[in-house]
Copies of this chain bind each other. A is one copy, B any other.
Amino acid sequence: MTRSKKYASSTDVARLAGVSQSAVSRTYKPGASVSEETRAKVLAAAEQLDYRPSMIPRIMLTQRSHLVAIVIGGMYNPFYATVLERFTSRLQAGGWQVLLLHVDSGHSFDAAIPRLAGYRVDAIVSALAVLGPDTAEALARFRIPVISFNTPAQNDFLSSVCCDNTGAARAAADLFAARGARRFGYIAGPADSPANQDRLGGFRDRLRELGLPEPAVLGGHFRYEGGYASALQMCAGPDRPDAIFCANDLVAIGAIDALRRELRLKVPDDVMIAGFDDIPAAGYAGYDLTTFVHDAARMVDESLKILRAATAAPPEPHEHRVVVPAMLIERGTTARRA
């Protein structure tokens, strides 16, 4: 149940096997020159002592920990759970281990940096909105490669892999227009979120280009309750929009519930809705929500490509800003005949 003895060391194994410590070391190094006889003796002794080579001295010697820190904020958005899972699998497959860091503010990120440095992580992946310029600066001082997931790089010290929010928002405007919408709304996320800014910007710009009216804008959270309240307010009056683009799916689902239950409006007949993220609930028949989805697979792959290049010895040149297109998933909430 609890550790009663220390881990066995290679020296312990060597003693038991009657060989030198280097022989043990070589036994566990692929492609080293050890005789079958020695190897057998070592493995037998190791088995008996439950020996596993420690990574720790290796880290000291090689200056590489094979540890990658993943920093995340709230996981209330299932998208991040997906990303985290995929990252973890891929990194493990590549011989890395994941040091998970939970952070709920820029401040707590700063506080965590010394710890990351203490474990000598090879790289940091930030899937986080709170990576501000100061934090980025602090990270840069340790010369640890940082990959910012979904937050554009603000300086030369970190790379970023982002979803093309602007392009997706433009596509939403096109879709609504093609379905015959006339009055538009945007239910926003936090004003300081770059993703939210780009989605609003792309949506508004494209509507303008199409000669359509400005969208009404409300909101300020990425949460269900925010969508619920904003939809209520936005659609209570006479001039309500007949197509609403929502900052994300949680917001969109909140909006749908509000429209149906409080205002007795039909989706998509009275109001079309589109969201962002394709969370599981978006696919439930009860919502059947048209949405855009980050190409998580490709974003993770691009991140890993950067990571490999940046942690190579010597470091290889690589992209610093990658933008990956979002994918439209058209479902029932925009299924209206123009």
- Residue positions of A touching B, CB distance < 8 A: 1-7, 50, 52-57, 59-60, 63, 65, 70, 72, 74-76, 78, 81-82, 84-85, 88-89, 92, 97-102, 104, 112, 114-115, 117-120, 141-145, 156-159, 224, 228, 250, 253-254, 256-258, 260-261, 280-281, 283-287, 310-311, 315, 320
In the complex, chain B residues whose CB is within 8 Å of the CB of A120: 7, 54-56
- Shortest CB distance A86–B (Å): 9
- Shortest CB distance A174–B (Å): 28
Q: Is the CB of B102 within 8 A of A99?
A: no
Provide the bound-state CA to CA distance between A312 and B70, in Å. 28
Q: Is the CB of A256 within 8 A of B286?
A: yes
- If A143-B2, A145-B2 touch, whether A88 touches B102 (CB-CB below 8 Å) is yes
Provide the bound-state CA to CA distance between A2 and B101, in Å. 21
Provide the bound-state CA to CA distance between A253 and B142, in Å. 48
Provide the bound-state CA to CA distance between A311 and B3, in Å. 8
Number of copies of chain A assembled together:
2
Q: Which residue of B lies closest to A6 (CB)?
A: B63
In the complex, chain B residues whose CB is within 8 Å of the CB of A75: 81-82, 84-85
Provide the bound-state CA to CA distance between A280 and B253, in Å. 11
In the complex, chain B residues whose CB is within 8 Å of the CB of A157: 1
In the complex, chain B residues whose CB is within 8 Å of the CB of A82: 75
Partner of A286, one of B50, B53, B85, B260: B260
- If A224-B280, A281-B281 touch, whether A5 touches B118 (CB-CB below 8 Å) is no
Provide the bound-state CA to CA distance between A131 and B159, in Å. 38
- Shortest CB distance A54–B (Å): 6
- If A54-B120, A74-B85, A286-B286 touch, whether A1 touches B159 (CB-CB below 8 Å) is yes
Q: Is the CB of B310 within 8 A of A2?
A: yes
Partner of A63, one of B7, B97, B315: B7
30 CB-based A-B contacts, threshold 8 Å: A1-B145, A1-B159, A2-B145, A2-B310, A3-B144, A4-B143, A5-B143, A7-B63, A50-B141, A52-B117, A52-B118, A54-B120, A55-B119, A55-B120, A60-B60, A72-B85, A78-B78, A92-B112, A97-B99, A98-B100, A98-B101, A99-B100, A100-B100, A253-B284, A257-B284, A257-B285, A258-B285, A280-B281, A286-B286, A286-B287
Provide the bound-state CA to CA distance between A72 and B97, in Å. 14
- Shortest CB distance A301–B (Å): 16
